[in-house]
Chain A
Amino acid sequence: MIGIIVTGHGSFASGLKSSVELIAGVQSDVSYVDFTAGMNTDDIKQALNESVESMGSLDQIMILSDIKGGSPFKAGLEIAMSKENITLFGGTNLPLLLECSLSRYGADDFEVFVNTVEKLGAEGLSRFEMNYDDDDED
């Protein structure tokens, strides 16, 4: 089983939590760690560590952070370097998180799963091209 930890500055994680749960309902094995004003880098690392520990029985853990190089990302990086089964992302968006949450149950090859969600998350950020062709009337 694949666990997910979402983390980011301010209410990024808890904000995504409310979005995901509105769209797809409460997800199991997903935790949300906010890095809020008043927390220092040790605090965020400790909070992430606690989440990782609580998922100790899972095969793989994905830490989805808001921005590469930020404190939540760096705290995740330190944990990922000390453990075998952690995959770290920066630049998390709602499409990436939804894809991870909903498609992890059928994933038998973890590498294929990670590559797929990375691609779909990246494609989720896109300018919408207006297309007036009526190809939908059949």
Chain B
Amino acid sequence: MEFCAIRIDERLIHGQVATAWTREVNASRIMIIDDEVVKDSVQKMALKSAVPMGIKLSIITLEKALANFSLNKYDGQNVFLIVKDPKVLVNLKKADVNLDEIIIGNMSAKGDSKVLYRTVSVTNKNIDDLKYLVDEGVKVNLQMVPKDKKIDVKTLL
């Protein structure tokens, strides 16, 4: 499974993603992998409303995603993966899914989190997950909108 782009963004699909990123990465499908969102009809409705015209949408669990990947279900599509939590990407990596580069957009402040950079706050658990990905050779960069310069997360952790 190859993705045309991978993003960590707690707001999932919103203005920056729907307008600027989807175009920038030439996505034909936006894929949300999140076990909680799958169960939440309100969030799902809001996500459907935000998908640009002509772009397909998947909101699926990790288990379903891995099953679909093994069936080569998305061959020939430009899949733009968006997750809320880096944990999902760790699990994909552990399942041998190819992750080349990850872009971090928005991660909001939580209980014990600290600000990494502007709109990106991370918990200790997030830091462990990001370090795992970096150690596995995945490029992890912060970039809010395509016009912003990328910041290598290694310089911030």
Give me the interface of A with B, judged by CB distance under 8 Å. 22-26, 98, 102-103, 123, 128, 130-132, 136-138
**How many residues in B have their beta carbons less than 8 Å from beta carbons of A?**
24
Write out the residue numbers on chain B whose beta carbons fall within 8 Å of the beta carbon of A128.
49
- Chain A proximity mask over B40-54: 1 for CB below 8 Å, otherwise 0: 010011011100010
Cβ B57 vs Cβ A136 within 8 A: yes
* Residue among B19, B23, B58 facing the most chain A CB atoms (10 A cut-off): B19
Given A130-B45, A132-B41, the answer on whether A137 and B64 have CB atoms closer than 8 Å is: yes
Surface stretch bound by A, among B79-87, B92-100, B107-115, B140-148: B140-148
Secondary structure dominating the interface of B:
helix
Docked Cα-Cα span, A136 to B50, in Å, equals 13
Give me the interface of B with A, judged by CB distance under 8 Å. 15-16, 19-20, 23, 38, 41, 44-45, 47-49, 53, 57-60, 64, 68, 73, 145-148
Cβ B147 vs Cβ A24 within 8 A: yes
In the A-B complex, list the 10 residue pairs whose CB atoms are closest, starting with the nearest: A25-B147, A25-B145, A23-B15, A24-B20, A136-B57, A136-B59, A98-B19, A23-B16, A128-B49, A23-B19
Given A131-B48, A136-B48, the answer on whether A25 and B60 have CB atoms closer than 8 Å is: no
Once A and B bind, how many residue pairs between them come within 8 Å at the CB atom?
Answer: 45
In the complex formed, the residue of A with least CB distance to B145 is A25
Docked Cα-Cα span, A138 to B32, in Å, equals 11
Write out the residue numbers on chain A whose beta carbons fall within 8 Å of the beta carbon of B44.
136
Docked Cα-Cα span, A138 to B57, in Å, equals 8
In the complex formed, the residue of A with least CB distance to B53 is A123
Write out the residue numbers on chain A whose beta carbons fall within 8 Å of the beta carbon of B15.
22-23
Q: With contacts A102-B19, A102-B20 known, what are 20 further pairs, Cβ within 8 A?
A: A23-B16, A23-B20, A23-B145, A24-B16, A24-B147, A25-B148, A102-B23, A128-B49, A130-B45, A131-B48, A132-B45, A136-B47, A136-B57, A137-B38, A137-B58, A137-B59, A137-B64, A138-B58, A138-B60, A138-B68
